[in-house]
Structure 1
């Protein structure tokens, strides 16, 4: 069978495996005709990410406006919105609790001997401050301030999705409050924009295996596999906590609240999960997530267009879990025994800061710096986790996307969509 005839998620999975092998073989220095393979991987990976990010703003605006305007009455909007926010708050809290339990049970930062000698706190503080300070993390208060942008165009250009979503919600709501002939023209325009964006998404996804190969090969060539050695226990703790949330908590919610077979949902979301893992960006994965839910899981566009864009911005289960584990690991590495009260502060800050974290690679470093500052730890502690942050970022992004998709399915079922995951759906080629 030709590789091009394989389903997309199989193509992406093969690309992942090849990328690991090629990345280990070529490293950073190997090249051809004076051009390193690393630079080629970097170029192709950036092209793919740029193409995905190009879709984000018009796709979010059109999908939310179409979704909200299609809800009709304010009662429908309030009901769907309440269910969405309630689900996101619940699953993020569950994820943080899973991380809290794991890091206290395993205690990856507790070592024999002097922690300073074992971990060698000699990270370049200025470089870390530049890495973290250069990102628009804000603080907990600014998360809410950014919900109402002073300039919606500037917010879109800066990637401030909270403000863009709030504006789109208002726009879609008031389409239902104007004269019918005006409302029809507005709705048809944004429906047309949404259809165009989905066609462009289909085109870009044909090149997803190539983009995934380049992104993962670059990461492996850069870090190799030996980087996990000193941080193996921390890495294991985060992976075990993410796996627990991914394989236990979310499937139980699907089965008992959504009334659907979790295995069918895993199958339906294959392409989106692999794309999320390779790009480490829930925002960039949004078009694929939407396509998988509508075409593979049978969820209506009415639900996906409202729930998913909101989830890609505010629902970060994996990120919240990681922030909690990372902050407590760093505290353990410094030899601190945090009290219950301090750990509670970490839990609440992880919940709040995960809402405002941008859906892009390494954005959670911003939130972790806020948590470290709140509990009195130096910023250089972030240097302890940088070696494995990229790989863990890819894993937690997949958990973020899967949680969004589970919420969409559960909410769709609660809205009376009986066709969701009730029979195997064809997957896009």
Structure 2
């Protein structure tokens, strides 16, 4: 059974288990609610364990690959600028909609009781009490902590992210055997962390079962209402970015047909949606962009691999929306400084998130730690995560392909999106 089917089944079974049990239910003398909590906590702890090594090696590895050969020339600068700009636009769309719709507020009240946050909500509120506009200064100080290890241990990840960016930038310029050895070590470390992440994600169905069962046992099925509001808020934001912002860029900047490009990319987009992995989709993405959209191999072979590493529009949007939703559910009124911290961190961590299924869950724990919320709160959004993961991965791949088209046009390529799809299909059938 495929992983997303397992997670969907675990959601149903967890809801049923929580519905038929209560906090007093015991089996063989063991409290059922404690068993649910144990399963969910183990999964959350495993995700938290990955935060520091995965984020660090992903960012450094990405910068090493950016720095190869002449990739930091004119095309490289334009590519990075485009990807950062569209990711920021996506984050701001998510921020706007989640503040307008307020999915974490139900009937004028924070949804913490419905979502099972009541047990530790007061402790969280006391930790964050008094934070205001002056928090912006603290955010700047977190970027350069005096003790990097202590900052990471305390969940203040901004300093680690800044250090990783600096380390990766200068490592790519280090010549000779020491540089090659260190680069190979970082790449190997990153590959190992990806493998460990995939192993833990395989246990996501068990984690989802425990978290859902515990929540339903404590709160009943009322938790579904805020989660559905959150689900449709994120879907609406992803839709606006993918089908309004991106087509406008193709039409205005590339002066080509967005629909023609969407037709060309449909095989890659369907693969991205079903696999929830932009890395796994990359070979097909490159094939569609070159053979169906008419982008040159020179442009596609640089822009698309870089995009699979640093361009995560859908992921960045989701990270921001999830953090704001959880804050709303806790009843927190986030200041401008805190919302700026969320936007900045979502932008940076989306670069460092490995292009594998559900890796953004790790990045969300980073954001929650920065604004003072417990990582355990991420358990509630796991109910909707798989479907939204599939959607945001498709948006990530779509953004990569749009970037390839726009950058090819900026480099003077005239054959981009010029051949009719019927002609391409006819050539394929003839072959």
TM-score category, normalised to shorter length: 0.5 to 0.7
Counterparts of 2:349 and 2:361, CA distance in 1: 11
The answer on 1:236 being equivalent to 2:232 is yes
Q: Decide whether aligned partners of structure 1 residues 284 and 114 sit closer, same or farther in structure 2, where only a CA change above 3 A counts.
A: closer
Shift of 1:319: 0.6
In structure 2, the residue matched to 1:304 is: 300
In structure 2, the residue matched to 1:88 is: 83
Structure 2 counterpart of 1:141, from 162, 174, 189: 162
The answer on 1:352 being equivalent to 2:348 is yes
Shift of 1:146: 4.3
Q: Retained in 2: the 8 A contact 1:123–1:380?
A: no
Q: Retained in 1: the 8 A contact 2:304–2:400?
A: yes
Q: Decide whether aligned partners of structure 1 residues 302 and 140 sit closer, same or farther in structure 2, where only a CA change above 3 A counts.
A: same
Q: Retained in 1: the 8 A contact 2:106–2:226?
A: no
In structure 2, the residue matched to 1:107 is: 102
Q: Decide whether aligned partners of structure 1 residues 143 and 313 sit closer, same or farther in structure 2, where only a CA change above 3 A counts.
A: farther
| Local SS of the residue matching 2:413 | coil
Give matches, 1:18-417, under 5 Å.
78-112=73-107, 113=109, 115-121=111-117, 139-144=160-165, 145-146=167-168, 148=171, 151-159=182-190, 231-417=227-413
Shift of 1:262: 0.2
Runs of 5+ consecutive residues of structure 1 not aligned to the other structure: 1-15, 29-59, 125-132, 162-214
| Local SS of the residue matching 2:73 | helix
Shift of 1:156: 3.5
Deviations 1:91-113 (A, max 9, x none): 01110110011001100001245
Q: Decide whether aligned partners of structure 1 residues 95 and 318 sit closer, same or farther in structure 2, where only a CA change above 3 A counts.
A: same
Shift of 1:369: 1.0
Shift of 1:159: 3.9
Q: Retained in 2: the 8 A contact 1:277–1:398?
A: yes
Counterparts of 1:228 and 1:287, CA distance in 2: 38
Q: Retained in 2: the 8 A contact 1:143–1:355?
A: no
Structure 1 stretch 365-374 or stretch 87-96: which is displaced more?
365-374
Deviations 1:244-279 (A, max 9, x none): 000000110111111110000000000111111111
CA RMSD of aligned residues (A): 4.0
Q: Retained in 1: the 8 A contact 2:110–2:330?
A: no
Q: Retained in 1: the 8 A contact 2:112–2:118?
A: no
The answer on 1:422 being equivalent to 2:418 is yes
Q: Decide whether aligned partners of structure 1 residues 68 and 119 sit closer, same or farther in structure 2, where only a CA change above 3 A counts.
A: closer
Counterparts of 1:142 and 1:400, CA distance in 2: 26
| Local SS of the residue matching 2:333 | coil
Q: Decide whether aligned partners of structure 1 residues 376 and 400 sit closer, same or farther in structure 2, where only a CA change above 3 A counts.
A: same
Q: Decide whether aligned partners of structure 1 residues 100 and 371 sit closer, same or farther in structure 2, where only a CA change above 3 A counts.
A: same
Counterparts of 2:383 and 2:248, CA distance in 1: 33
Runs of 5+ consecutive residues of structure 2 not aligned to the other structure: 14-60, 121-152, 173-180, 193-201, 213-220
| Local SS of the residue matching 1:385 | helix
Shift of 1:153: 3.4
Shift of 1:423: 2.3
In structure 2, the residue matched to 1:173 is: none
Deviations 1:290-331 (A, max 9, x none): 000011101110001111111100011001100110000000
Q: Decide whether aligned partners of structure 1 residues 228 and 419 sit closer, same or farther in structure 2, where only a CA change above 3 A counts.
A: farther
Using structure 1 for the length normalisation, give the TM-score.
0.63
Report the number of matched residues: 310
Q: Retained in 2: the 8 A contact 1:299–1:417?
A: yes
Deviations 1:211-245 (A, max 9, x none): xxxx9xx99x999xx99665100000000000000
Deviations 1:111-137 (A, max 9, x none): 24564321112899xxxxxxxx9xxx9
Q: Retained in 1: the 8 A contact 2:276–2:393?
A: yes
Deviations 1:146-193 (A, max 9, x none): 4537533344444469xxxxxxxxxxxxxxxxxxxxxxxxxxxxxxxx
Q: Decide whether aligned partners of structure 1 residues 118 and 299 sit closer, same or farther in structure 2, where only a CA change above 3 A counts.
A: same
Q: Retained in 1: the 8 A contact 2:104–2:230?
A: yes
Counterparts of 1:244 and 1:383, CA distance in 2: 27
In structure 2, the residue matched to 1:182 is: none
Q: Retained in 1: the 8 A contact 2:104–2:226?
A: no
Q: Retained in 2: the 8 A contact 1:123–1:383?
A: no
Q: Decide whether aligned partners of structure 1 residues 79 and 394 sit closer, same or farther in structure 2, where only a CA change above 3 A counts.
A: same
In structure 2, the residue matched to 1:4 is: none
Counterparts of 1:274 and 1:424, CA distance in 2: 21
